[in-house]
């Protein structure tokens, strides 16, 4: 882990004396992304399956509050994958490719003024999930006197902020003395290089400057050899063991508690076996299911009743509308009947008057003709 441009990829090439394929990361990423690459290395008869995870874009954002979250999520995801494999009925842990992170090299920018708030917040979030070894990158940019003060300031700030870094084990007599000495050199000040310069009869990894040459593997120039010795040759197995027995166990405990498995029952009495814990959880789970079923059934009954009431109200409204329409129709029909009867009466009266008028007109004409004949 480290900001872009601190030489993370170069140091990996130097540590394992090989050239890993890597592409420069852009500075325009909106969030931190993690890239994992797995390599199979072999030296003499020793084979090593190495996975390097790089934090691309770390520290490049303006808002750096959640820069560590992607890293935390990735580490938890590897723990979760191992836990799921462990919980399988048919496990194959012997052949399982363990992707858990066993060591975190945290690259510190060689400012000489102490740690940044981003460094402290990130390491604080990670110290209970992974073994952290802080290293000062590009140590050739600081003088020796400033470097020692910088180391002291870093350790002081880590201690005052409660950040736990990985300490090389001192309980093994074979490595106790050397590990105690190496713990006093933390954080390691390192230099990486892909260039080789002939020194005597050997080609050495070095960085050339106008004022001289800095040798990567010269302990007078930097702590690269100390870091390589501690990582690869002396404490590799301890890092794996500590990852499994401390960090993974802590994650496993939290996850099992989230699943409902505990070491004590509701009365704080310890369970005799995992089966007992499972049965207790199963019983509790069945009770919860039954309770939810009852609640859903009651809710269903209430909703059915509400729907029935709603339908009855709608039916009542429809009946009322129908009765009103029928009444209006009857009233309209009555009015039409009255109008029709009135019209028929008027027609009869009209015909009667018409007949009378016709008869009166005929008799008058006859009378007029008679008078004319007499004359």
Confidence of residue 260 (pLDDT cuts 50, 70, 90): confident
What is the percent of the chain where pLDDT is above 70? 91
Q: Taking 90 as the threshold, does the pLDDT of residue 145 lie above it?
A: no
Placement of tokens 């494999």 in the chain: 85
d(CA 42, CA 132): 26
Confidence of residue 298 (pLDDT cuts 50, 70, 90): very high
Predicted structure pTM score: 0.71
4, 29 in Cβ contact below 8 A?
Answer: no
Each residue's pLDDT tens digit, 302-317: 999 999 999 999 999 9
Each residue's pLDDT tens digit, 342-374: 999 999 988 888 888 888 777 666 655 555 555
Which of the pair, 17 or 269, is modelled with greater confidence?
A: 17
Taking residues 126-138, what's their average pLDDT? 93
Confidence of residue 270 (pLDDT cuts 50, 70, 90): low
Q: Taking 80 as the threshold, does the pLDDT of residue 234 lie above it?
A: yes
Q: Which of 98, 32, 18, 100 is nearest to 61 (CA)?
A: 32
- Between 117-121, 180-184, 187-191, 209-213, the lowest mean confidence (pLDDT) is in 209-213
d(CA 268, CA 273): 15
Q: Taking 60 as the threshold, does the pLDDT of residue 84 lie above it?
A: yes
Confidence of residue 264 (pLDDT cuts 50, 70, 90): low
Taking residues 14-21, what's their average pLDDT? 84
Q: What is the pLDDT of residue 32?
A: 87
Q: Taking 80 as the threshold, does the pLDDT of residue 166 lie above it?
A: yes
Each residue's pLDDT tens digit, 95-107: 888 899 999 999 9
Confidence of residue 273 (pLDDT cuts 50, 70, 90): low
Q: What is the pLDDT of residue 218?
A: 83
């Amino acid at each position: 882990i480290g900001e872009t441009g601190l030489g993370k990829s170069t140091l990996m090439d130097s540590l394992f004396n090989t050239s890993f394929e890597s592409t420069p990361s852009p500075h325009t990423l909106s969030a931190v992304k993690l890239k994992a690459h797995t390599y199979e290395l072999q030296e003499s008869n020793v084979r090593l399956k190495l996975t390097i995870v790089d934090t691309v874009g770390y520290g490049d954002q303006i808002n750096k509050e959640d820069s560590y979250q992607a890293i935390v999520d990735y580490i938890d995801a590897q723990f979760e994958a191992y836990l799921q494999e462990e919980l399988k009925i048919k496990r194959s842990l012997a052949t399982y490719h363990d992707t858990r992170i066993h060591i975190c090299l945290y690259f510190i920018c060689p400012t000489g003024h102490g740690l940044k708030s981003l460094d402290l917040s990130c390491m604080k979030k990670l110290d209970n999930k992974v073994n952290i070894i802080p290293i000062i990158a590009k140590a050739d940019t600081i003088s020796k006197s400033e470097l020692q003060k910088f180391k002291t300031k870093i350790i002081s700030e880590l201690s005052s902020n409660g950040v736990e870094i990985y300490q090389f084990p001192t309980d093994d007599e074979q490595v106790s003395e050397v590990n105690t000495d190496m713990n006093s050199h933390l954080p390691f000040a390192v230099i990486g290089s892909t260039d080789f310069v002939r020194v005597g009869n050997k080609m050495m990894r070095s960085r050339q400057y106008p004022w001289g040459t800095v040798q990567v593997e010269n302990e007078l120039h930097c702590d690269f050899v100390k870091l390589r010795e501690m990582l690869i040759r002396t404490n590799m197995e301890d890092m794996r063991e500590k990852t499994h027995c401390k960090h993974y166990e802590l994650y496993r405990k939290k996850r099992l508690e989230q699943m409902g498995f505990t070491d004590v029952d509701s009365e704080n009495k310890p369970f005799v076996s995992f089966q007992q814990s499972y049965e207790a959880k199963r019983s509790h789970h069945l009770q919860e299911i039954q309770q939810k079923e009852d609640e859903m059934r009651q809710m269903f009954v209430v909703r059915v009743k509400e729907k029935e009431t709603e339908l009855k109200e709608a039916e009542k409204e429809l009946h009322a509308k129908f009765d009103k329409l029928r009444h209006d129709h009857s009233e309209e029909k009555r009015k039409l009947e009255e109008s029709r009867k009135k019209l028929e009466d008027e027609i009869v009266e009209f015909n009667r008057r018409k007949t009378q008028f016709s008869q009166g007109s005929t008799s008058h004409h006859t009378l007029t003709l008679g008078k004319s004949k007499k004359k």
